[in-house]
Structure 1
Amino acid sequence: MIKRYKWPVLAALSAAMIISSCVTKKYQQPNLNVQTDKLYRDTTINDTTSIATVPVEQLFADTVLQGLIKEGVQNNLDLKTAMQRINEAYATVQQTKAAFFPSLSGNATITRNKQSLAGLNFPPEFANSFILTTTTHQLGLSTSWEADIWGKLSSSKRSALANFFASDAGKRAVQTQLIANIANNYYSLLALDKQLAITEQTLKNRITDVETMKALKESAIVTGAAVVQSEANRYAAEVTIPDLKRSIRETENALSILLARAPGAIKRTSLDEQKPYTDMQVGIPSQLLKNRPDVQQAEFAFRSAFENTNVARTYFYPALTITAQGGVSSLKIKNLFDNSIFYSIVGGLTQPIFSKGENRARLRTAKAQQEQAYYAFQQSVLTAGSEVSNALYAYQTAVEKQTSRAKQLEALQKSVDFTKELLRYSSATNYTDVLTSEQSLLAAQLNSVGDKLQQLQAIVNLYRSLGGGWK
């Protein structure tokens, strides 16, 4: 008997698979409208070596920073939220898998019916011969199963899986951004510390200058204007210190939030102790598709939208549903299991004929969302290439500036020393020259800190833009 029905069953299943493949489409990776080898501006690279594969502990030599990054990865609230999104997506996947199996529910009912005597329309002499009130006891099970003829359930499951992988990629994207934010804020703190130290030392020097100008005035070498100018110069440096301290406190607070701490002081080293990573390999641009979590997330979002379009197509075709119910029923509860079994099995096809344009609107919506996801994927790739290019160029320019800045600082320091000496022993100069040279020196010293900060943060941003930090 089994062999008799084997081939018809297989033929029916094969026909269903063929018909399903005509309704739903197979996913293919979306094409990009830009050549991937052109993503890095003015850069041609054939080496696949990339700092994206470098462990965090190797990229950042500062052990204090390493500890802060580890703490952030363990405690950051955005990262924990991303983990819960993964759990949510996983539950949805389990739900779509369960849709392939029949549902089963149990029920127990007691029904009491009372029939109206007038409604029976019997003569009065027969009224007492009929039972007008009945109580029915019933126990039963019911089940329902929908055959996945057109691939609706399969596409729904693939869409849920794509969303799951997208949420996992999103979590990794949050982690790479978190590491970059911690490192950038840490380096900003070190730079602010350095600028504060420079400014405080400048303030001490200018207080000394004020005393010197007063002494020179008493010796009739300079006028009272020079004394007043030196005092103004002193206060010009002093007034910037509160702003620097405020910036330090705000940066500490911002870093505390990343670490899921209450606002407070951050333990740190100094800017002079930092040794920048120098092997700035970026690999080939096509590696961004595998390394950048946000690019992967965008592609999975497109795949989910693609499968949702498949689901929308299946609504135009009939749905095959099989339902069954059975149990026991009796007018008396003591006889519930005595020859009181009932059952029913129903199989039906439901073909949408007129649904007020709902199915067409659903398909148009799904297609529009798929196009949006496609454009978002393209945008993520272009953004990734731009970020790599910007970070790489920022690193190169920072290194170039440091060489020129060192020479500028040396020249400005000599200018300050020479103008001060000339002010003491010659009438060929005045305090305005000293003032100008001192202000230029302070600005150059603060800018030199900015150059070092730019270099360090460019390394961090390049690491993140290449997709480093999540492996």
Structure 2
Amino acid sequence: MNFRYKSYIIIGFATLCLTACVTKKYERPALNSNDLYRDNSGTDTATIANLPWKTLFGDATLQTLIQQGLDENLDLKQAIERIKIAEATLRQSRAAFLPSLTGDLSVTDAKQSRAALNFPPGININTETQTYKAQLSTSWEADIWGKLSSAKRSAYASLLQTDAAKRAVQTQLIANIANTYYSLLALDKQLAITEQTVKIRETDVETMKSLKEGAIVNGAAVVQSEANLYAAQVTIPDLKKSIKETENALSVLLGKGPGTINRNTLDEQQPFSNLQVGVSSQLLQNRPDVQAAEFAFRAAFENTNTAKTYFYPALTLTANGGLSTLDLKNFFDQSIFYNLIGGITQPIFNKGQNKARLKTAQAQQQQAFYGFQQTLLTSGQEVSNALFAYQTASEKETTRAKQIASLTKAVDYTKELLRYSSATNYTDVLTSEQSLLAAKLSSTNDRLQKLQSIVNLYRALGGGWK
């Protein structure tokens, strides 16, 4: 190996050493990602986050709506465009390693003042000249301190962040569509219950009128039965309004104008029962927003590396060359020119810009670290809340069924006693009927809470994007 190649190796090795002294290699910060789930110390890594969303949601109509949302939702389309922006920035950062190249073709017409030139008398020199020039200019900065490399890694981390953010939008979109769909089904069920109650109370009014004619009840019972009917009827317009508004909200999620939503019924829904959550450390791999927060920290870390390099000298090589002549006819005849310049620029006084740049980058890096930490803690909270919501809804379903059964009997018994016993008045019937209606509506809410808690748990674990 000759001396020249040995010199190249020594210079390259020295450059790597110097770069390592200025910039640092990224390592994931030490965050405690264990025990983020409350009251859950299991070690089973199986999790519903790995399930495709079509497996979790068995309703074919809901599957169609989710797919439509993934194809047309405007928030998701914006996230995809942000990825394109990040890709363009990454390509630009990679191109920074290459020398710049510009071309210049110019014609210059210049005329000097004879009086300013102070020619002796009798000398006749043409003071007007035309210069024709064609040149190429190039400039290249050597990445001695890793400034360009850090900028490229920052751009790459930003690209990964936008991709993770897009996946986070997707998981949230799936959850929003499913939750809104279930809300719509619950409103349909509440409307059906209320309309059925109205029919029963219309019959009660006619019954009270007949009992009054038979002198079994008085006029107060008839008026009370009518008021009870109106109390049910008056809630129907609000329910219909809520249904329309929920349909409109779901239409926006699907990327279309407000309109009727095709749907099934709440009773047809079969909640997914095998709710495996895995271990909390899996959130780092499964939750897109946690991944996005880490990539944001990684980009800020590389920006700090870049800011450090501004304190060190920059080696720049520039060159330009081409053809230049005063006579266009002889443009290619002995008109070649060139310049080669190699220089090192060391910042000495830059009005505090380098220090401000570094302090800003360090503060932004610390902010990104706190954001990463906060996102991880919040994700654990959301998983715990969804689990508790599911458990609560399951417990209420059993008790609510018993409550409805008892209230149904109470309504039947009080109506029968009203026919044959003077000890019973219509107030007892009224109380029982109102309690029964409230219990049936609450039962619908219990069912909705159970379905939505499964959706929220799936999203909180990071499901819906794989």
TM > 0.5 fold call: yes
Once the two structures are superposed, the pairs formed by residues 70-469 of structure 1 within 5 Å of their partners are 70-126=67-123, 128=124, 130-469=125-464
- Partner Cα separation in structure 2 for residue 213 and residue 299 of structure 1: 69
Q: What secondary structure does 1:459 align onto?
A: helix
Q: What secondary structure does 2:38 align onto?
A: coil
Q: What secondary structure does 1:174 align onto?
A: helix
Gaps of 5+ in 1: none
1:298 Cα deviation (Å)? 0.2
Percent pairwise identity: 66
**1:136-191 residue CA offsets vs partner (Å, 9 max, x unmatched):** 00001000000000100000000000000000000100000000001001111110
Once the two structures are superposed, the pairs formed by residues 7-46 of structure 1 within 5 Å of their partners are 7-32=6-31, 35-46=32-43
TM-score, normalised to structure 2, is: 0.99
Aligned to 2:50: 53
1:3 Cα deviation (Å)? 2.6
Opposite residue 88 of structure 1, the aligned amino acid is I
1:262 Cα deviation (Å)? 1.3
**1:269-304 residue CA offsets vs partner (Å, 9 max, x unmatched):** 101111110001000000000000000000000000
- Partner Cα separation in structure 2 for residue 55 and residue 38 of structure 1: 26
- Partner Cα separation in structure 1 for residue 152 and residue 135 of structure 2: 31
Across the two proteins, how many residue pairs are aligned to each other? 466
Opposite residue 42 of structure 2, the aligned amino acid is I
- Partner Cα separation in structure 1 for residue 25 and residue 204 of structure 2: 79
1:226 Cα deviation (Å)? 1.0
- Partner Cα separation in structure 2 for residue 38 and residue 60 of structure 1: 29
* 260-269 or 294-303, which deviates more: 260-269
Opposite residue 293 of structure 1, the aligned amino acid is P
**1:308-328 residue CA offsets vs partner (Å, 9 max, x unmatched):** 000111111111111000000
- Partner Cα separation in structure 2 for residue 70 and residue 470 of structure 1: 12
- Partner Cα separation in structure 1 for residue 226 and residue 191 of structure 2: 20
- Partner Cα separation in structure 1 for residue 159 and residue 59 of structure 2: 36
Aligned 8 A contact 1:37 1:44 in 2: no
Gaps of 5+ in 2: none
Aligned 8 A contact 1:110 1:137 in 2: yes
Opposite residue 151 of structure 1, the aligned amino acid is G
- Partner Cα separation in structure 1 for residue 231 and residue 330 of structure 2: 101
1:234 Cα deviation (Å)? 0.4
Opposite residue 3 of structure 1, the aligned amino acid is N
- Partner Cα separation in structure 2 for residue 57 and residue 125 of structure 1: 98
Opposite residue 61 of structure 2, the aligned amino acid is V
1:265 Cα deviation (Å)? 0.4
Opposite residue 311 of structure 2, the aligned amino acid is F
- Partner Cα separation in structure 1 for residue 83 and residue 161 of structure 2: 9
Opposite residue 381 of structure 1, the aligned amino acid is L
Q: What secondary structure does 1:36 align onto?
A: coil
**1:337-377 residue CA offsets vs partner (Å, 9 max, x unmatched):** 01100000001111111111111111111011001100000
- Partner Cα separation in structure 2 for residue 107 and residue 232 of structure 1: 90
Q: What secondary structure does 2:223 align onto?
A: helix
- Partner Cα separation in structure 2 for residue 370 and residue 428 of structure 1: 77
TM-score, normalised to structure 1, is: 0.98
**1:185-208 residue CA offsets vs partner (Å, 9 max, x unmatched):** 111111000000000000011111
Q: What secondary structure does 1:124 align onto?
A: coil
- Partner Cα separation in structure 2 for residue 102 and residue 358 of structure 1: 26
1:305 Cα deviation (Å)? 0.3
Opposite residue 357 of structure 1, the aligned amino acid is G
Q: What secondary structure does 2:416 align onto?
A: helix
1:334 Cα deviation (Å)? 1.3
* 297-306 or 6-15, which deviates more: 6-15
1:252 Cα deviation (Å)? 0.6
- Partner Cα separation in structure 2 for residue 134 and residue 141 of structure 1: 23
**1:122-143 residue CA offsets vs partner (Å, 9 max, x unmatched):** 22333x1x22111000001000
Over the aligned positions, Cα root-mean-square deviation in angstroms equals 0.9
1:394 Cα deviation (Å)? 0.5
- Partner Cα separation in structure 2 for residue 376 and residue 425 of structure 1: 70
Aligned to 1:4: 3
Aligned 8 A contact 1:166 1:301 in 2: yes
Q: What secondary structure does 2:122 align onto?
A: helix
* 148-157 or 206-215, which deviates more: 206-215
1:37 Cα deviation (Å)? 2.5
- Partner Cα separation in structure 2 for residue 218 and residue 51 of structure 1: 63
Q: What secondary structure does 1:43 align onto?
A: coil
